[in-house]
Amino acid sequence: MMKSETGKTLLVAFLLCIVCSILVSGAAVSLKPMQEANKKLDVKKNLLIASGLVDGNATKADVDAAYKNVQPLLVDLATGDVIEGDIENYDQKKAAKDPKQNLRIDAAKDLGNIKFRAKVAKAYLVKDAGEVSMIVLPVHGKGLWSTMYGFLALAPDTVTVKGIGFYSHGETPGLGGEIDNPSWKATWNGKKALDESFSPILKVVKGAARTETEIDGLSGATLTAVGVTGTIQYWLGDDAFGPFLAKFREGGIK
């Protein structure tokens, strides 16, 4: 009798496990489209925040309305050419981890300390009355504790910074985490990212900035600041968006 009862208990437990697993799997599958939509919305919102087109309180309706003025592009980083593809569903993070879609960065050029990058990147043109008012570039690189993901907005001259924002990182709150501080981010506006030969020159310095190519340092976060400098200089350089920006200046991209 005891063996029979034990068997029934185990059978019920087993069946419950099967039912629960089916329910959990079904919920995960049904929620995936919503999660993907929210992920895309978050990226758009952070792009617009970095560009100064919306603030952190923006609703989905606000984001959708502002994003109508944004033209996303797929860029072959090796040539700077705009290419065709499924831009809406292209995942640059996944591509950077895929041997078929990435490339190893030469150590001497790897200022962002990321080792690999996708061969194809997204870029965004913000338009006003049909004319480009900003170029927004996704950037990422290593800080002290984490990979920092963000957006850098440039004026149409490709030199002047219009805004910056890091939307994902694990830097220390109150120290390196100050890259999220609106006051610090505001100091980037109007700075010069490239020199007269269009080479990256902008850097985060120790203490207060003294020139138009310097950004105020982050107190107690020297290594995060070094990471931000390397990240920006890498993505604006010849190994990343440099060829694309050159073609834009030449009028080949509108």
- Segment 81-100, tens digit of pLDDT: 999 999 999 999 999 999 99
Task: Write out the two tokens for 199.
Answer: 């080479």
The two three-digit tokens of residue 96, written as one number: 């950077």
Give me the pLDDT at residue 38, please: 81
Q: How many domains does the chain have?
A: 1
Q: Residue 252 — pLDDT band, cuts 50, 70, 90? A: confident
What is the pTM (predicted TM-score) of this model? 0.86
Q: Which of 1-5, 42-46, 193-197 has the lowest mean pLDDT?
A: 1-5
- Structural domain boundaries, residue 213: 69-249
Confidence of residue 1 (pLDDT cuts 50, 70, 90): very low
Q: 48 lies in a domain?
A: no
Mean pLDDT of the chain: 91
Could you tell me if residue 73 is inside a domain?
A: yes
The whole-number pLDDT of residue 28 equals 47
How far is the C-alpha of 125 from the C-alpha of 173, rounded, in Å? 32
